[in-house]
């Protein structure tokens, strides 16, 4: 029997749990071409929310969707090339149409359209680097021009948007984007990012993209909704989990969708009948083991003061300025604490809420406690 819990792919319709307010909010923004930003760690349910919002928005408005992934994009040239490729993919059905549109709308950048003879549906777009960089505004206007010519709105969905912060002369690049995009009326931009701290800096006050898009906050999925979903999913497959165990799953994962579904799946896989304490313990160990390689890679890049800082957090310390805390956790000095905090934020391991440090990943926090520090 297939598990009722899905954590390795996007979920739609009945498998999508909670976030009904955010879903309606995003669907409305998409229908009205309102620029929107979603910021949350990987596995937090952004793509599932977006997919369901597209389904809902298309009941109200017809639009063409362009999807860009920036996880492997490292400079302006690659960004412009990727954006152009995905826009033409969304707008055109054949290589001849690509060529025709490029001739009309990209006369300055003059891209070359190349068809892979072994894969007829695989089309490549090539630019002269200098010509493209000198006329980048033409590419940045392409979405609006396509929407005008095809008389249909476009939604440009960009994932891993935080990668643009690492481009050379990143602030100037962002200002170039904004100068073009802010005047678009037929295009809505949906900007998503997994690196919470990096994305927050991009949209912070005084940053170029401040006020460009409306941010829809994503909080943990409500406990009651997930607990009811877990109990109901067990029941539908002929198995039983007590409410207290379903609540323990939510507390362990703090409503983090990927981990909640994963933990619930592991509990489900451990039983053919009723979940008991031993099964919960086994599923918890498996949860640690399943994510062990990823967590080890995070720890491998940490210095001793950084791991000491995380130990202090786990032990309940949230104010680090006292000489006692500095000495006890071998943090050296207040100046060093500032450097440690900055490094951990940059690595996307912690964030600050009202000046209190918090782990971004609740299961990584548990793994650090149980497996790294062996705190039981």
Q: Where are the domains of the chain?
A: 19-92+135-215, 223-290, 294-372
User: How does DSSP classify residue 216?
Assistant: -
In the block, which residue shows the tokens 């071409």? 33
- What's the gap between Cα 197 and its chain centre? 12
Calculated CA dihedral for residues 9, 12, 18, 24, nearest 10 degrees: 130
Q: What backbone torsions phi and psi does residue 335 show, to the nearest 5 degrees?
A: -65, -40
In the block, which residue shows the tokens 């904004």? 178
Beta-strand pair 350-353/356-359: antiparallel
- Whether CATH 2.10.70.10 fits 294-372: no
User: How does DSSP classify residue 219?
Assistant: P
| Torsion sign across C-alpha atoms 153, 159, 163, 165 | positive
The overall pTM is greater than 0.75: yes
- Report residues of the chain scoring pLDDT below 50: 376
The three-class DSSP label of residue 109 is coil
Which two structure tokens, joined as six digits, stand for 369? 């406690």
CA distances from 359 to 162, 169, 180, 376 (A): 19, 30, 37, 18
> How many CB atoms sit inside 10 A of residue 298's CB?
15
CA distances from 289 to 177, 243, 248, 367 (A): 43, 25, 19, 9
Beta carbons of 27 and 53 less than 8 angstroms apart: yes
Q: Which residues does residue 191 pair with via DSSP β-bridges, in sequence order?
A: 37, 158
Superfamily name with CATH number, domain 19-92+135-215: P-loop containing nucleotide triphosphate hydrolases (3.40.50.300)
Note whether 19-92+135-215 and 294-372 share their fold: no
- What's the gap between Cα 239 and its chain centre? 33
> How many CB atoms sit inside 10 A of residue 174's CB?
18
Beta carbons of 267 and 280 less than 8 angstroms apart: yes
Nearest to 143 by CA among 201, 100, 101: 101
**pLDDT at site 120:** 59
**pLDDT at site 344:** 98
Tell me: the pLDDT tens digits for 77-129? 999 999 999 999 999 999 899 999 999 999 999 999 998 777 656 899 999 99
- Determine which helix (DSSP H) or strand (DSSP E) holds 68, and give its type and residue range: strand 64-69
Beta carbons of 164 and 202 less than 8 angstroms apart: yes
- Determine which helix (DSSP H) or strand (DSSP E) holds 215, and give its type and residue range: strand 214-215
Nearest to 245 by CA among 214, 207, 210, 283: 283
Beta-strand pair 187-193/154-159: parallel
């Amino acid at each position: 029997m297939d598990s009722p819990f899905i954590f390795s792919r996007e979920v739609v319709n009945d498998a999508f749990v909670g976030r009904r307010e955010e879903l309606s909010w995003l669907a409305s923004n998409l229908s009205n071409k309102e620029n929107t930003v979603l910021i949350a760690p990987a596995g937090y349910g952004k793509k599932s929310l977006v997919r369901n919002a597209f389904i809902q928005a298309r009941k109200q408005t017809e639009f063409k969707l362009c999807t860009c992934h920036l996880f492997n994009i490292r400079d302006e040239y690659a960004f412009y090339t990727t954006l152009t490729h995905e826009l033409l993919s969304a707008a055109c059905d054949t290589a001849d149409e690509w060529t025709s549109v490029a001739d009309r709308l990209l006369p300055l950048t003059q891209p070359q359209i190349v068809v892979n003879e072994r894969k007829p549906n695989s089309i490549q777009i090539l630019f002269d680097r200098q010509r493209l960089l000198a006329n980048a505004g033409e590419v940045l206007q392409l979405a609006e021009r396509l929407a005008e010519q095809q008389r249909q709105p476009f939604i440009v969905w960009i994932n891993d948007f935080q990668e643009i912060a690492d481009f050379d002369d990143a602030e100037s690049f962002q200002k170039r984007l904004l100068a073009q995009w802010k005047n678009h009326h037929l295009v809505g931009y949906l900007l998503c990012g997994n690196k919470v701290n990096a994305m927050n800096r991009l949209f912070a006050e005084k940053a170029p993209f401040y006020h460009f898009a409306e941010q829809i906050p994503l909080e943990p999925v409500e406990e009651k909704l997930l607990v009811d979903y877990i109990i109901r999913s067990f029941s539908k497959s002929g198995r039983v989990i007590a409410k207290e165990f379903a609540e323990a799953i939510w507390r362990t994962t703090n409503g983090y969708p990927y981990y909640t579904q994963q933990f619930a799946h592991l509990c489900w896989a451990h039983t053919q009948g009723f979940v008991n304490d031993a099964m919960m313990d086994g599923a918890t160990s498996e949860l640690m083991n399943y994510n062990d390689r990823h967590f080890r890679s995070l720890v491998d890049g940490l210095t001793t003061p950084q791991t000491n800082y995380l130990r202090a957090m786990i032990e309940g310390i949230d104010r680090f300025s006292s000489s006692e805390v500095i000495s006890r956790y071998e943090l050296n000095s207040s100046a060093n604490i500032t450097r440690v905090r900055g490094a951990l934020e940059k690595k996307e391991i912690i964030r600050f809420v009202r000046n209190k440090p918090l782990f971004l990943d609740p299961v990584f926090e548990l793994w650090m406690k149980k497996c790294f520090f062996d705190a039981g």
